[in-house]
Chains A and B, each alone.
Chain A
Amino acid sequence: MEPVAQIETLPEPPQESPVIAPGQTFASVTAKISNAVLVDPTPLSWFAAFAVAALLLAMFMGAVTYLLLRGVGIWGINVPVAWGFAIINFVWWIGIGHAGTLISAILHLFHQSWRNAINRFAEAMTLFAVACAGMFPLLHMGRPWLFYWMFPYPSTMQVWPQFRSPLVWDVFAVSTYATVSLLFWFVGLIPDLATYRDRAQRTWVKRLYGVLAMGWRGSARHWKRYESAYLLLAGLATPLVLSVHTVVSFDFAVANMPGWHTTIFPPYFVAGAIYSGFAMVLVLAIPIRAMYNMHALITPRHLENCAKVMLATGLVVAYGYLFEGFAGWYGGNQYEIYMIHNRLVGSYAPFYWSLLTCNLLIPQLLWLRKIRKNVLALFLISIVVLVGMWLERFVIIVTSLHRDFLPSSWGHYTATRWDWAVFIGTLGLFFTLMLLFLRALPMISIAEVKMLLPAAKVEAE
């Protein structure tokens, strides 16, 4: 028993590395973020990045044009691997989008105010990633102009979606998610758009931001309604973001296919999505803070926290891999065992081993604080994770499909140059949209970052 009298000193509250660099004021934050768009000359690095992204976008346009002229036969897909790159890239992009909503909605509900500096561009990232993801199922349809057949509209031709197919669930899950994310993002933007309106120099720019700001005057009543709308949307976005990747995992898990039909897929897909999403957040945040000199607002603490989330979700993904293997052995189903064996030593084994290296091995470096504090290392590890998560989807989809139950139906899948052109092209689309966003809208939430300032912490005594 420890007598209480032994308590000697009351320890000091722990010193955390700041979420906002010292010396910032309300005025300096507003000036910093709005000048980046309205006053300062656009950095040269922006133009360089835009040139590359626009070129890739042009390649995407070209590849899609050719695809529409010739049909999906130009891709490498064929029976038994009819899903190929289109679904791999779809799942990859949707996954990337998850981090934005996690940061903006879930961390908001958990009172994690450090997220205020990174939620805006992370949400933009979500929207653009969902846009890229949406391209793939659309193009994979072969006749994308008939996409509306997916909706249960009153049809004169008696076309009705097959509601038992998870692909149809996807249509609803993803479109709902995209709508709510857009709304959430836009509502968050309103006060900042009003700031831009008030600070814009040219009349037409003022008008443009003015229309978008929807008459925001910053009155107490406005703020009150804004806060509750924002909270409600965060509450709405949270189950949606979890449901989207859950439904995406159903695409596989409901099928009677070795390597796909496993009950852990829903949470494991969600964790994997957040994992790759945070990697993309870091891949974007690190250059953005350098490009626009935002080091005071996006501090090492942000990068470290993102790295920690990445490590945690990476460990969940590792758990998924290991127990998938364990269950294969435990269940003793010959098809499952063959599938695992095929992954380990079959024709796609190099993909599987690189996936383990990228997703399991290298991210363990994040246990070290030194690595989490090293911006370059973080950037590189994030790219490795992005590659790893793409490989994961490749392995799940292709290795399971290319070995059908009957050896006579076995096949091999190789992506063609058009597959690659469309995939890399969507990277161009993504980065082009992202760069345009940086150029036109507040990349960091002005109103929310101000809440992090010590001056905002004056308590009502």
Chain B
Amino acid sequence: MNHAITTDTNIRTIGPAVFPPRLLTLVWSMILLGITLVAIRGATRPAGFERAFWFAFLLNFFFFTVVTLGGVFLTALEYTTNATWSVVFRRLAEAVGSSMAVLVPAVLLFLVGIPHIYPWAQADYHFATASKQFYFSRNFVSLRAVSFVLIWFAFGRWFIRISLRQDRGLVKSLVPPTGFGKLPTVRGRSAALFMVVFAYTFTLASVDWLMSLEPRWETTMFGVYTFSGLFQTGLAVLLCLAILMRCAGALPDIAGEHNYVDLARMLHAFSIFMVYIGFAQYMLIWYANYPEESEYFHQRIVNGWGWLFVFLLFAKWVVPFVVLLNQKARRHKGVLLSIALLVIVGEWFDIYWLVMPSIDSRLVVPGLAELGVFLVFFGACGLCVIRFLQHHPFVPVGDPRLAQSASGGYL
């Protein structure tokens, strides 16, 4: 398999992915099913439906922000670090990033839901300081939410655009004459800029959308915590997509064994990062034991929520860590797929664990509303991914590092 595509004739034959037509039918029916489930929930148990729906919406809105932004982030990461190993997977990351389009209508809907979700959006809620009252005024929060999504969306589009231009061999106009440089320049710089912007916007978004559910609670680690989840989930989604596409026969074998192994190693490393951040945050709050701080975790451990906490520990760290230590496991596509799915499920439940105790002090299992909204989001994102991959070569054929990436020449 090594050196499979070192000649340019081979690369030229790579086209867009071919999907069976019934895949689209499947995705559309998922969306319809999602809407039906939500409707059933509304019809059968109208009491408290509104609140349940909006919390389910917030949960899935944040989860799909993490997933789609994860795609953009991984693209930008490759550009900033000039990585070679991940080039074969970049188009998949871009495909995931392209589904950020779903967030644009979603964030507008989210604005409608704000008064149903947040305690600070109630008329009788008052913050201790006037500045914080202003910060959480309806208009300012909405402005922030919309601008964050638009900024991420714009960056995502821009990365896809330069990548596709490179495919068409037009990139020369973007790159200054060779010399010392890496190929980059434009994309490297815009990716570095994105990293800085992303760090601040994503942290503030996490604070606005999740942390402010408990308006008086704060931790400086929160943005890093959600970021570590994003990184881990981004890698898991990429791994899933790469394996599924390959198993479904939609993609010829471009990526070598080593590319998958490297992706699995990254997932391994960032599962450790995830638990490191989670542990540091939890341990410091537990140890200092300030009532106003530990209350947040207390609420998320008592009344059955602790079981979910333990599940998260296993799904996001123990299982990926132990399994991926094994060299054979890292080479087994079935094992990798299961681990990646477990991590993704873990992330969804992580957000669930952050969001839901704010409305229900006792552990509740996800119901029709959560599942329904999830299916709608999933279907919509799936449509974007499929459309993107149907229209563009599924690897960045114009990237000079592609051959090296596929052959393992970077090792």
Contact = CB atoms under 8 A, between A and B. Distances in A.
A215 B219 CA distance: 55
A2 B391 contact: yes
B371 interface: no
B22 interface: no
Interface stretch (A8-16, A26-34, A35-43, A201-209): A8-16
A14 B401 contact: yes
A4 B180 contact: no
Interface of B: 8, 11-16, 127-129, 131-132, 164, 166-169, 171, 178-184, 192, 195-196, 199-200, 203, 207, 216, 218-221, 223-224, 272, 276-277, 280-281, 284-285, 287-288, 290, 391-393, 397-401, 403-404, 410-411
B8 A254 contact: no
A320 B319 CA distance: 31
Given A264-B221, A324-B220, A327-B218, A11 B167 contact: no
Interface string A309-334: 00000010001101110010111100
B378 to A, nearest CB: 25
Contact of B132 (A16, A239, A267, A330): A330
A116 interface: no
A270 to B, nearest CB: 9
Given A2-B391, A11-B400, A13-B400, A246 B280 contact: yes
B277 A267 contact: yes
A324 B411 CA distance: 40
B218 A261 contact: no
Contact of A4 (B166, B207, B276, B393): B393
A263 B400 contact: no
A254 B283 CA distance: 9
B219 A263 contact: yes
B203 A4 contact: no
5 closest A-B pairs by beta carbon, nearest first, are A264-B220, A263-B221, A10-B8, A266-B280, A14-B183
Given A10-B11, A16-B182, A332-B132, A242 B276 contact: yes
Q: Among A4, A261, A315, A329, which residue has the most Cβ atoms of chain B within 10 A?
A: A4
A12 B400 contact: yes
A332 to B, nearest CB: 5
A158 interface: no
A243 to B, nearest CB: 9
9 contacts: A4-B397, A6-B168, A7-B168, A13-B400, A254-B287, A263-B284, A266-B284, A327-B220, A330-B132
Given A319-B200, A323-B223, A263 B167 contact: no
B180 A17 contact: yes
B346 to A, nearest CB: 20
B75 to A, nearest CB: 17
Contact of B131 (A261, A267, A329): A329
Contacts of A266: 276-277, 280, 284
B287 A111 contact: no
Nearest to A301: B180
B284 A4 contact: no
B288 A261 contact: yes
Given A13-B400, A327-B218, A253 B284 contact: yes
A157 interface: no
Contacts of B128: 332
B284 A254 contact: yes
Contacts of A267: 221, 224, 276-277, 280
Interface in A72-90: none
Contacts of A7: 11-12, 167-169, 397-398
Nearest to B14: A4
Contacts, number: 125
A254 B392 contact: no
Given A4-B393, A7-B398, A17-B180, A323 B219 contact: no
A261 B284 contact: yes
Contact of B182 (A1, A2, A14, A239): A14
Given A4-B393, A13-B403, A266-B280, 7 more contacts: A4-B13, A5-B12, A10-B8, A264-B219, A267-B224, A322-B200, A329-B131
Given A256-B290, A315-B196, A323 B410 contact: no
Nearest to B407: A459
A5 B403 CA distance: 19
A262 interface: yes
Contacts of B131: 329
B169 A8 contact: yes
B169 A323 contact: no
A322 B220 CA distance: 10
B199 A14 contact: no
Nearest to B212: A330
A4 B11 CA distance: 10
Nearest to B183: A14
A265 interface: yes
Nearest to B164: A2
A331 B218 contact: yes
A375 to B, nearest CB: 15
A56 to B, nearest CB: 37
Nearest to B203: A323
A5 B169 CA distance: 11
A236 B129 CA distance: 48
A273 to B, nearest CB: 15
Given A2-B392, A267-B224, A267-B280, A254 B179 contact: no
Contacts of B168: 2, 6-8
A111 B224 contact: no
A11 B13 CA distance: 16
Nearest to B199: A319
A245 to B, nearest CB: 11
A4 B281 contact: no
Q: Among B220, B223, B399, which residue has the most Cβ atoms of chain A within 10 A?
A: B220
A422 B16 CA distance: 67
Q: Among B16, B277, B280, B290, which residue has the most Cβ atoms of chain A within 10 A?
A: B280
Given A2-B164, A261-B284, A261-B288, A11 B218 contact: no
A13 B404 contact: yes
A264 B132 CA distance: 22
A10 B167 CA distance: 9
Contact of A265 (B11, B182, B216, B284): B284
